[in-house]
A and B are shown apart, each in its own frame.
Chain A
């Protein structure tokens, strides 16, 4: 029995269905999130388990992973990010097209984890804005799936004009990220 996503409320008739645009777009964006697995260490292994058949992430719409930022919506940062890697991460984030979300998986990506040292970046939110944090060392696949489901909630309920607002522009400026116009 295949479970399909519920359609939004709307006016239905013979051969047509009328609803509001942001509901449809939210539905489409939420159920077809294509992730970029920026997997650096152990959390990457947990992600590999999550993508496997047992905890299948593909049933949430994330069937097509891609290691190119140009074609993805969600940047999943999984693993320890060193200070040398931080500009690379920022460049990958810059290359993604709007709308984009960032999921920070694991203690090291959220806050540096147990590696409070000279070489580890103490949390990726020092260089890029993060939408959902998944704590754990490493988090279980179920927790990574919950993180993705929260991103789905964000994508579904996001206002279509959000990326054009001044507040968003100010937030990007605080990270020194140029907004592509």
Chain B
């Protein structure tokens, strides 16, 4: 299913196939140019999703921002993965290519704290505005820490 290995025109890119889907691991500064090539020359005009993952055991590459692009005409999908360290969690915004990236990046910022450099309005979108932490990071429990009425022993925790 990996139709043309076009990402060899960008240097130092490794691609891995899993479940017949092309995964491309790149760095943050290669992102905008690669998406430019994919969108304008290869026909990946549909941004399906932007999300993130937190791997606290991978010191130096804790956060991974994942982009899914879709070529509607040839029905091909590709996944771009950018690894970021917790100390430098900045990545350029994809709103220059896809307007739909605006809210998706706000959601990724809301839940993981990834900073999208150049985003026009980077603020929380789904959680309460006065929440002061990023809830989907692995160090925070699913349950609300400040709740007072539920006794954990009765709930098997």
Contacts and interface: CB of A to CB of B under 8 A. Distances in A.
Contact of B128 (A83, A116, A117, A122): A83
Interface in A115-170: 116-119, 122
Given A116-B143, A122-B147, A84 B155 contact: no
Classify the secondary structure of B's interface with A: loop
Interface residues of A, number: 7
B134 to A, nearest CB: 11
A83 B143 CA distance: 13
B57 interface: no
A116 B140 contact: no
A122 B149 CA distance: 9
Classify the secondary structure of A's interface with B: loop
Contacts of A84: 126-128
A117 B149 CA distance: 13
Contact of A122 (B142, B144, B155): B144
B107 to A, nearest CB: 13
A119 to B, nearest CB: 6
B150 to A, nearest CB: 7
Contacts of A116: 142-144, 147, 150, 155
Interface in B107-157: 126-128, 135, 140, 142-144, 147, 149-150, 155
A84 B155 CA distance: 25
Report, as a range, how many residues of chain B touch the other chain: 10 to 19
B135 A118 contact: yes
Which of B140, B142, B144, B149 counts the most A-chain CB atoms under 10 A from its CB?
B144
Which of B127, B128, B150, B155 counts the most A-chain CB atoms under 10 A from its CB?
B128
Contacts of B143: 116-118
Nearest to A116: B143
A122 B155 CA distance: 15
B135 A122 contact: no
Contacts of A83: 128
A126 to B, nearest CB: 9
A122 to B, nearest CB: 6
A114 to B, nearest CB: 11
Contacts of B142: 116-118
Nearest to A87: B128
A76 to B, nearest CB: 23
A162 B144 CA distance: 37
Contacts of B144: 116-118, 122
Interface of B: 126-128, 135, 140, 142-144, 147, 149-150, 155
- What 8 pairs across the A-B complex have the smallest Cβ distances? A118-B144, A84-B128, A118-B135, A116-B143, A117-B142, A83-B128, A122-B147, A119-B127
Interface of A: 83-84, 116-119, 122
25 contacts: A83-B128, A84-B126, A84-B127, A84-B128, A116-B142, A116-B143, A116-B144, A116-B147, A116-B150, A116-B155, A117-B143, A117-B144, A118-B127, A118-B135, A118-B142, A118-B143, A118-B144, A119-B126, A119-B127, A119-B128, A119-B135, A122-B144, A122-B147, A122-B149, A122-B150
